[in-house]
Amino acid sequence: MSTSAIPRTAPREGGARTGAPVLEIRNLSVDYGYGSDPTHVLRQASLTLHRGEVLGLAGESGCGKSTLAYGATRLLPPPGLVTGGQVWFTDRDGTRSDILALDDAALRASRWRDMAIVFQGAMNSLNPVFRIGRQIADGILAHSPGMSRADATERAAAMLEMVGISPDRRRDFPHQLSGGMRQRVMIAMALSLDPQVLIMDEPTTALDVVMQRQIVEQIAELRERLGFAVIFITHDVSLLIEIADRIAIMYAGEVVEEAAAQDVYRRPRHPYTDALLHSFPPLRGPRRELGGIPGSPPDLARLPTGCPFRARCAFAFDACAHVVPELAETGVPGDAPFRRVACLRHDTRSVVEAGFDPQPLPEELARR
Amino acid sequence: MTTDTTLVEQIPDLETSGRPKRARQKNLLFLRNSKAITGLAILGFFAVLAIVGPWIAPYDPNQISPDLVQPPSGSHWLGTDHLGRDVLSQLVVGTRSVLVVGFVAGVAATFIGVVVGVTAGFVGGVGDETLSALANVFLVIPQLPLIIIIAGQLPTAGGLTVALVIAATGWAWGARVLRAQTLSLRRRDFIEAARANGERTWRIVLAEILPNLTAIIAAGFVGTVTFAVLSQITLSFIGILPLDTWNWGTVLFWAQNNLALQRGAWWWFVPAGLCIAGLGMALTLINFGIDEFVNPRLRSTGMHARSLRRRKIRPRVGFTPVVHEAQEDRA
């Protein structure tokens, strides 16, 4: 792929850090259900997005990727409920605001202007009875009081051109466009107010690989030109390794590993990451043995004690049933300083504190 | 990579044993809805009255006494009418007729509506056209005059006859709504999948489509009962129905004919009006309850309305409520 914006091999140390934090999710907890026994889907998940970077969010279905993104933007439908945490958004001029503390009017104003979203199945997010130019212009007008409709339409045409659709197609109806074009219209719409954060929730899932590639290249190119930061949610890890600067792997509502994309790919530190990487064939490099992950993700309503991954983990030991692993530095000397992993094989201190014998780091999780 | 699969098999042991409690709660969910409980309680009160009414009524509602148009007193709790008959006894005895007519008409009209509506929606083509045309005809006919004409022509207009007449004129609205919903359901993927599975048409209708229509049917039923009760009371009030069977409308008929309003004899018409309003409210509350229960999206909200208010949570699409209840102690 001709994506010059993406470093082919990220430097070992600090290379993926592109700027100051633009979005900091701190200890975000989300429940589903208002009753006496809600399902705790997210338990104090934390994630930081830096200005201008592409942060990939990966994991199996139902591990809380979308919940994290929608909880942080307060877009969860009932009976979703944010039960704790902060989401700090840092504006271009440096002012910080907690999205979870905004009132409805301020939240409405901030949406799309600060943070825009390309939804899952965005192809069907367009209203079939309105022309696409008008639908883009609607969003622009809603956030720019005093702007004339002609100006907004002109801006819509410019946005279409930017995503590679001829501006004269702005008078087309959604059904006259192909799936990939509709997806690009959605991206144009999301970028029309020059947001600083773009959340893409499986934007390429319904598209064939050729179209996927076009969209991904488009995003990379636009990102370089406009400088927004992207949270890219997908379960396609191989796609993520190509597009993302940094990757956060989620499991059962927790971030279990956070590292530069190439580090995740070449030097996984969490057993789940390692197992994920063995679930698809590598496109380049030496051949690897393919193996799935046995079992299925735990029921979030009845989580086991200790590490939620231990039942499927090849490296689980006695402490895993009793100690909940926290995101911490890896146990491999020489790793990038911001690498974080939540695994007791790396965190010998917690194991010793809980009164268990620490186990050595297996070779698979300590590759250099 | 070798994986110890015995660990995977142990997963069920890790689950907490909270199953039976949860299941029991789910079965009684409908009864945990405060609107439904209130509605059912009021309806239950009237139902008990309808059953035991003739035995607990203090007087024979037709018994004439010398106390003419007396306000409420110890011997006549709700006073007397122009012939000295006890108003309370008339109301208590009349409850049975109101409920019987309401529910028989409701069941009959809902049945016709479901059969016509679902058939029209599912078969399509000529059948749909014919049945829709029939429903449309019944929709545009003014209902009350039609009921008056039919009820007036019948030699014996007893309670059941009236109920069937009301059902025969009141099914069309439900049929139209059900047809529209069936048309929409018929094209959905799960119906196509059922067809591809080789399910028979009647099974698709009964097992796939009807459960999806439960909310509409239940709401339509409650609405039809309300309509039937009001129709019967109206017919009695304007004197179309024979006056020898008591219902709340008959009480109002006598009150109206004997200038109760002008005489200031409030005890004559206010209790009957309150009974009608109370029954109507009960049915409407049950309707809300059904809606919040059957619609899974509304269910959690409806079930926990009180605790949501206490926790200051306002469920709203697009603005997820935020409460700071969870721990925030991670670094």
A280-339 residue pLDDT tens: 877 677 777 787 888 888 888 888 888 999 888 888 888 899 888 988 888 888 888 888
Taking only the tens place, the pLDDT of each residue in B237-257 is 887 777 778 888 888 888 888
Structural domains present in chain B: 50-310 (1.10.3720.10)
Residue B302: the pLDDT is 65
Checking if the pLDDT of A87 tops 90, the result is: yes
Checking if the pLDDT of B311 tops 90, the result is: no
Say if residues A16 and A260 touch (Cβ distance below 8 Å).
yes
How crowded is residue B85: how many other Cβ atoms within 10 Å of its Cβ? 22
How would DSSP label each residue in A9-63?
Answer: S--SSSTT--SSEEEEEEEEEEEE-SSSS-EEEEEEEEEEEETT-EEEEE-STTS
A38: pLDDT confidence band, cut at 50, 70 and 90? confident
- Residue B309 contacts by C-beta under 8 Å, 6 or more apart in sequence? none
Q: Report the alpha-carbon distance of residue B181 to residue B215 in Å, rounded.
A: 11
Taking only the tens place, the pLDDT of each residue in A125-135 is 888 899 999 99
Say if residues A349 and A325 touch (Cβ distance below 8 Å).
no
A18: pLDDT confidence band, cut at 50, 70 and 90? low
The two structure tokens encoding residue B317: 């699409």
The alpha carbon of residue A169 is apart from the nearest alpha carbon of chain B, in Å, by: 31
ipTM: 0.76
How crowded is residue A312: how many other Cβ atoms within 10 Å of its Cβ? 23
Helices A179-191 and A132-143 pack at an angle, to 10 degrees, of 20
Residue B7: the pLDDT is 40
- How long a stretch of residues is chain A? 368
Give the 3-state secondary structure of residue A104: helix
CA angle B25, B29, B31 (to 5 degrees): 115
Checking if the pLDDT of A16 tops 50, the result is: no
Give B238 or A5, the one with higher predicted confidence.
B238
Q: With an 8 Å Cβ cutoff, is B318 touching chain A?
A: yes
Q: With an 8 Å Cβ cutoff, is B316 touching chain A?
A: yes
The two structure tokens encoding residue A281: 């064939």
Edge-to-edge strand ranges of the sheet holding A80-90: A39-50, A21-32, A80-90, A96-98
Q: With an 8 Å Cβ cutoff, is A27 touching chain B?
A: yes
Residue B2: the pLDDT is 43
Checking if the pLDDT of B167 tops 70, the result is: yes
Checking if the pLDDT of B27 tops 80, the result is: no
Give B78 or A261, the one with higher predicted confidence.
A261
Closest CA to B106 of B224, B272, B218: B224
Minimum CA–CA partner of A274 in chain B: B1
Q: With an 8 Å Cβ cutoff, is B320 touching chain A?
A: yes
Q: Report the alpha-carbon distance of residue B78 to residue B71 in Å, rounded.
A: 7
Minimum CA–CA partner of B7 in chain A: A311
Structural domains present in chain A: 21-244 (3.40.50.300), 251-365 (3.40.50.300)
Q: With an 8 Å Cβ cutoff, is B323 touching chain A?
A: yes
CB hemisphere CA count around B243 (13 angstroms)? 11
How crowded is residue A271: how many other Cβ atoms within 10 Å of its Cβ? 26
Least-confidence region, from A195-199, A229-233, B2-6, B116-120:
B2-6
Q: What is chain B's mean pLDDT, rounded?
A: 80
Q: With an 8 Å Cβ cutoff, is B17 touching chain A?
A: no
Minimum CA–CA partner of B303 in chain A: A35
Least-confidence region, from A50-59, A334-343, B135-144, B307-316:
B307-316
Helices A132-143 and A149-162 pack at an angle, to 10 degrees, of 120
Closest CA to A271 of B60, B286, B1, B273: B1
Report the amino acid identity of residue B186. Answer: R
Task: Kindly list the residues from chain B whose CB atom is less than 8 angstroms away from the CB atom of residue A107.
Answer: 319
The alpha carbon of residue B187 is apart from the nearest alpha carbon of chain A, in Å, by: 18
Say if residues B100 and B119 touch (Cβ distance below 8 Å).
no
Q: What is chain A's mean pLDDT, rounded?
A: 85
Q: With an 8 Å Cβ cutoff, is B14 touching chain A?
A: yes
Checking if the pLDDT of B6 tops 50, the result is: no
Least-confidence region, from A86-90, A171-175, B296-300:
B296-300
The owner of tokens 């598209």 is A207
Minimum CA–CA partner of A303 in chain B: B15
